[in-house]
Amino acid sequence: MARQNTDNWSVRKCAKACAKCEKDFEDKETLHSRLSFDEGEYVRKDFCEACWNKDDPGLSSWKTVFMVPVQQEEAVKKENAESLLRKLVAKENEEDLNAIFILAVMLERKRILVERDVQTAEDGRKLRIYEHRKTNESFMVVDPELRLTELEHVQEKVVILLGGKPRNAEPESGESAI
C-alpha cells in the first residue's frame, strides 16, 4: 500500500457530474462524496444517489447537497479567514499547519465549513476533512493537536495575518494604552 502523504492539503472541489454515470448534478441535488488515496494523492469523487456504492466508503465518505458553484471572484473579495485559509493551503508549508487549523475551526464556527470526517494517517497525525457549505469544496486539514499554552501564540499569528494588530502592540501616538 502506498504511503499516505498528509502534506497534501489542497482543496477538492465538488464535481459537476457523477463520477460513474457522468450525469450532471442539478442544483440542490443530494449526492455522495468519497475521499480515497490513489497513486500517491487524495482523490475526491462525487456520485449521484443511483450510482453510490455504500459498500466502498474509501478513506472517508459523506452525503451532501450540490449547489451551483458561485463565481470565485465573488467568494473572495477581501482578505478574510476564508481567503487566508485558501492561500495557506495552496502554499503547502509545514509551518502554516497551526494557522490553517485555527482558520478551519474559525470557519466551522461561522458555519462556513462543516467537518465531515476525522481520519488518522499512517504517521499518526489526525486529518480533519471539512466541506464548504456553499461551494461543496473539500479541505483536508492536519490537526496539530495544539496545547492550550500554544493557542494564544497561534491565534495572535492568525490575527496578524488577517491584518489585525497584535494584542501587545504599542499604542500609536495619541492612542490611549487603556
More confident residue, 100 or 71: 100
* pLDDT tens digit sequence for 23-62: 999 999 999 999 888 888 888 999 999 999 887 878 888 9
* pLDDT tens digit sequence for 123-150: 889 999 999 999 999 999 999 998 888 8
**Total length of the chain:** 178
Number of domains making up the chain? 1
Q: Tell me, what amino acid is at 70?
A: V
The whole-angstrom separation of Cα 42 and Cα 7 is: 11
Q: Where are the beta strands (DSSP E) in the chain?
A: 30-38, 41-48, 60-65, 113-120, 126-132, 138-143
* pLDDT tens digit sequence for 111-121: 999 999 999 88
In a domain, 178, yes or no: no
Q: What domain range includes position 134?
A: 30-161
pLDDT on residue 177: 42
Q: Enter the C-alpha cell of residue 172.
A: 500609536
